[in-house]
Amino acid sequence: MSEGKTGLQLRSLIRKTGELEISLVTMQTPEPAPDEVVVRVEASPINPSDLGLLLGAADMATAKASGTKESPIITAHVPEAGLKAMAGRLDESMAVGNEGAGVVIKTGASDAAKALMDKTVAMIGGAMYTQYRCLKANECLPLPAGTTPAEGASCFVNPLTALGMTETMRREGHKALVHTAAASNLGQMLNKICLKDGIPLVNIVRSKEQADILHKIGAKHVVDSTAPSFLDDLTHLLVQTGATLAFDAIGGGKLAGQILTCMETAANKTAKVYSRYGSNVHKQVYIYGGLDPRPLELNRTFGMAWGVGGWLLFPFLMKLGPVEGRLLRERVIDELRTTFASHYTKVVSLQEALDPANIALYAKRATGEKFLINPHKGR
């Protein structure tokens, strides 16, 4: 069988000189080891979490296209300040793409590997913007018969992140959630989980259009941070739901601090004795994204019982352990066409992913805009 001997792979390189270069390279597909399989990748989403590696700190307003139609090259300037934060990856060509799905076309000699032959599988592990991916059999999640790679392409990052939020809530003793940038693909999944599991969820959005998206899928509590009554509206919903944990995709600016302040106001509405240190209720914001690159500003008008911190899926899964992790993955597969269905605005080939017009769209990280790469599109 000659299929899959070589294939194209998308690479992102930032040079010491301050230049980002995104290009396609032809790669020899490795021979699978006994416990490995080779997958023909047919679908891999461009998640916000992929953009950091793909575009680095480059200023995409300076992007230039060169190369050929079959082998396009994108270059862009990386500002001095951004270059510093990229120190660890300079002059190293990086493969991109956290997750994807495809069909197993070759296997190693082990039974576990052989059992996957011809199966459609979902994968996690990086380097998915590639035509053929060799990986361990146990890094593949076989999809139910009839599931397409496009349906299974986003099995991991968004579904497990959303489930990670409700799991974190339970483990840290909270009883309701706040979520920002809440009309995102991830936010919609979180709403479906919370509706199904009976968890009160306060959705913070930045426009009426986003509020409408959530109302349409049945969200109960939606508040618009651009409304003049935002802080009062939010406090009201926090009193109603008792939410003391927020997951924030914005990162910069005042929003995280405003959430903590409103949580504190809500907690004090039921307090009986004055405490100069504020309420004893622990209020937590986990930041899992950076849609706003400005510094995070906390005015600390929320007592002393508070925390703000980074939250990432993989360290959370490590903490959770393999048994609990498997239960979450099983739930994703069971509800792949309902709770965890992803919607894409555009399906592109590897070459089209390097089209400046497409980059301009997905680099915006706009709510509702979501690209899927099919490395075999048109082949």
User: Which tokens hold the place of 279?
Assistant: 């309420």
The C-alpha angle with vertex 211 and arms to 362 and 51, in degrees rounded to 5, equals 20
- Single out the residue of 242, 252, 325, 356 in contact with a second copy (rule: CB under 8 A): 252
Q: Are strands 201-205 and 177-180 parallel, antiparallel or unpaired?
A: parallel
| Contact status: 65 vs a second copy (CB under 8 A) | no
- Residues whose CB falls within 8 Å of the CB of residue 40, separated by 6 or more in sequence, listed in order: 3, 4, 102, 103, 104, 105, 131, 132, 376
- Single out the residue of 13, 33, 53, 239 in contact with a second copy (rule: CB under 8 A): 53
CB of 313 to a second copy, least distance (A): 10
| Contact status: 144 vs a second copy (CB under 8 A) | no
- Single out the residue of 31, 299, 319, 364 in contact with a second copy (rule: CB under 8 A): 299
CB of 291 to a second copy, least distance (A): 12
CB of 284 to a second copy, least distance (A): 8
| Contact status: 309 vs a second copy (CB under 8 A) | yes
Cβ neighbours of 361 (radius 10 Å): 16
| Contact status: 48 vs a second copy (CB under 8 A) | no
Backbone angles phi, psi at 302, to 5 degrees: -140, 35
Query: Smaller CB distance to a second copy: residue 302 or 344?
Result: 302
- Single out the residue of 60, 239, 312, 347 in contact with a second copy (rule: CB under 8 A): 312
Backbone angles phi, psi at 324, to 5 degrees: -65, -40
Neighbouring-strand partners of residue 45? 372
- Single out the residue of 250, 287, 336, 373 in contact with a second copy (rule: CB under 8 A): 287
| Contact status: 89 vs a second copy (CB under 8 A) | yes
CB-neighbour burial class of residue 132 (10 A; exposed 0-12, middle 13-18, buried 19+) = buried
| Contact status: 305 vs a second copy (CB under 8 A) | yes
Part of the chain binding a second copy (CB under 8 A), chosen from 17-25, 60-68, 238-246, 273-281: 273-281
- Single out the residue of 97, 102, 257, 375 in contact with a second copy (rule: CB under 8 A): 257
CB 4 within 8 A of CB 132: yes
| Contact status: 308 vs a second copy (CB under 8 A) | yes
Q: Angle of helix 322-334 relative to helix 313-320, nearest 10 degrees? A: 120
- Of 154, 144, 146, 134, give the one whose Cα is nearest residue 43: 154
- Single out the residue of 132, 156, 306, 344 in contact with a second copy (rule: CB under 8 A): 306
Measured distance CA(74)–CA(142) in Å, rounded: 35
CB of 265 to a second copy, least distance (A): 9
Q: What single letter denotes the amino acid at residue 15?
A: R
| Contact status: 303 vs a second copy (CB under 8 A) | yes
First and final C-alpha spacing in the chain: 18
Query: Smaller CB distance to a second copy: residue 113 or 285?
Result: 285
Total interface residues for a second copy by CB under 8 A? 39
Which H helix or E strand runs over 233? Answer: helix 230-241
Residues lying near a second copy in the complex (CB under 8 A): 52-53, 85, 87-89, 92, 94, 251-252, 257, 268, 271, 274-277, 280, 287-288, 290, 295-301, 303-312, 315
